Amino acid sequence: MVTKNLFSVKTLLCTLCALFLLSPQAGAKSAITEKDMPADSLAPASLGSVAFATERLRSMAEQCRLDGASLSAIPVSGKDSMTFVYRGRPLTVKKNALGDISHIGYWCFPQALRDFNPSPVYDFLERYALELDLAGQTRDIKIYRDQMTAKGDWNALTAAGDINDFSLRKEGLKKYYFNFKRGGRSLQLAFACDCQLLMGCDAIELERNFVRDIKRTAPNLKLLDLPQPESATDSTKQQANYRVLGGKEYLSPSIHNSIYLRLEKAGGKKTYALIADTMKLVQSVGNMLLTGISKNHVNVALKVDKYGYACDSLLLPLASLVTFLQQEGCELYFGVKERKGDDVLCSVFALQRDYGYNHVISFRVPKRTLVQGGIIEARAFCYVPLHNVTEKFLNLTPSR
């Protein structure tokens, strides 16, 4: 299996730094359960046109003989699920906002726990427990290959009864530690904060899914919580008629998430607005790329670099690109390489802490884009894993 996890720490650090310097041109129960027919006469799965977020989930649905019509009936929400049964144990199946089946696994964790302490680990462990059963005699090989350090009984996840003990902690961007006890059984796990492991995809499939999903993302940007002129907090800095929000650094002091505001008068009332003019070019470009907001319509001519020197090219609204990154739960950071004539060469680093990956997107933004909109060029390296990088290198500290 091709995997970015084979990168050495040195190679990964060099890659991240080099990318910054590259320009774009470079619920309810189902009606049918196992109990309704003998185990040896279960009909083959008929999935029809059901879409799956990953190939692994499609394979699992086939192995568990899930019914396509029932899968299609699952609400599109990411939280609601329909309960199926496999080997006498309840399965939970979910569908994401794009309409794809995004989770299949044994039901292990109540929604109240998920809401109290949100994490992708719940879906991962539910899916992984089912994967181990499906692996049969090769389950020990799978656990070894996935570098899962386990102590105790895996059946604790699916045992009957109340949860007697639970803890989940994350060591920076590197590792998860899980402790669980239910029905007299206990399980302790340690595993990498690795997007490929948690999502159940190799690097090639992740790159393919990136292109597939970003094409289907409609603009739906997060609303900016702009401060009122009379409110000043410790998390903002004020200088005359200007204010800076954010101010966290990533990788280096020149890469940050600062949003620049200007005090403006409209209808006799003062309000803060995003700076978006050519007189403050770098700040305006940063605002546009970090928020997806522009005065005029901006499209991105995006090249996605893939394994084997392959490349996918697509044209999409900047607002769709930023919406996609926001919906993935990424923190966005902006850095400038240089100004080249009337163009700004820069990069956006999209950090996903819970899954331990980075998207690195390099842009070439013409000055005229701020005034009249148009097309900007970009080049993306997606799902770069971070679990092997030292915490010192990835330290984020407030700076602005």
Q: What is the pLDDT of residue 6?
A: 37
Distance, CA of 48 to CA of 70 (rounded, Å): 11
pLDDT confidence tier of residue 388, bands split at 50, 70 and 90 = low
Bigger pLDDT: 268 vs 398: 268
The dihedral built from the CA positions of residue 267, 268, 272 and 278, taken in this order, carries a sign that is positive
Buried b (16+ CB within 10 A) or exposed e, 170-179: beebbbbebb
- Judged by average pLDDT, the poorest of 79-88, 233-242, 366-375 is 233-242
Mean pLDDT on 263-292? 91
Sheet with strand 311-317: strands edge to edge = 249-250, 252-256, 331-340, 343-352, 357-366, 374-385, 298-305, 311-317
pLDDT confidence tier of residue 235, bands split at 50, 70 and 90 = low
Q: Which of helix, strand or coil describes residue 179? A: strand
Give per-residue pLDDT as tens, 111-165.
999 999 999 999 999 999 999 999 988 999 999 999 999 999 999 999 988 999 9
- Judged by average pLDDT, the poorest of 62-76, 84-98, 227-241, 263-277 is 227-241
Bigger pLDDT: 327 vs 5: 327
Q: What is the pLDDT of residue 16?
A: 55
Distance, CA of 349 to CA of 378 (rounded, Å): 13
Mean pLDDT on 239-251? 83
Q: What is the pLDDT of residue 251?
A: 87
Give per-residue pLDDT as tens, 40-76.
224 445 587 899 999 999 999 999 999 998 999 898 8
- The mean pLDDT value of the chain amounts to 84
Mean pLDDT on 276-305? 96
Which of 90, 80, 103 shows the shortest CA–CA distance to 33?
90
Q: What is the pLDDT of residue 38?
A: 30
Q: What is the pLDDT of residue 30?
A: 32
Crossing angle of helices 203-215 and 318-327, rounded to 10°: 130
Q: What is the pLDDT of residue 314?
A: 96
- Judged by average pLDDT, the poorest of 14-28, 271-285, 348-362 is 14-28
CA dihedral 143, 147, 153, 158 (to 10 degrees): -70
Q: Please say if the pLDDT value at position 95 is more than 70.
A: yes
Crossing angle of helices 121-135 and 55-63, rounded to 10°: 50
Distance, CA of 85 to CA of 32 (rounded, Å): 9
Residue whose token pair is 């290198």: 393
List, as one string, the DSSP characters of 70-96: HHHTS-SSSS-EEEEEETTEEEEEEE-
Asked if 217 contacts 324 with a C-beta cutoff of 8 angstroms, the reply is yes
pLDDT confidence tier of residue 221, bands split at 50, 70 and 90 = very high
SS (H, E, C) 335-395: EEEEEECCEEEEEEEEEECCCCEEEEEEEEEECCHHHHCEEEEEEEEEEEECCCCCCCCCC
Q: Which of helix, strand or coil describes residue 331? A: strand
Q: Please say if the pLDDT value at position 78 is more than 90.
A: no
pLDDT confidence tier of residue 224, bands split at 50, 70 and 90 = confident
Bigger pLDDT: 208 vs 16: 208
Query: What is the longest distance spanned by two Cα atoms in the chain?
Result: 77
Quick one: DSSP state of residue 134? H
Q: What is the pLDDT of residue 47?
A: 83
Buried b (16+ CB within 10 A) or exposed e, 298-316: bbbebbbbbeeeeebeeeb
Mean pLDDT on 381-386? 92
Q: What is the pLDDT of residue 11?
A: 46
Q: What is the pLDDT of residue 183?
A: 87
Q: Please say if the pLDDT value at position 169 is more than 50.
A: yes
Q: Please say if the pLDDT value at position 28 is more than 50.
A: no
Which of 2, 94, 107 shows the shortest CA–CA distance to 53?
94
Residue whose token pair is 């990498």: 192
Q: Which of helix, strand or coil describes residue 135? A: helix
Query: Which residues lie below 8 Å from residue 370, measured CB to CB, with a gap of 6+?
Result: 276, 277, 278, 281, 284, 285, 288, 294, 295
Asked if 94 contacts 102 with a C-beta cutoff of 8 angstroms, the reply is yes
* DSSP-derived pairing of the beta strands 374-385 and 298-305: parallel
Take residue 274 and report the two structure tokens written for it: 């995003």
Distance, CA of 215 to CA of 153 (rounded, Å): 42
* DSSP-derived pairing of the beta strands 298-305 and 269-274: unpaired
Q: What is the pLDDT of residue 77?
A: 73
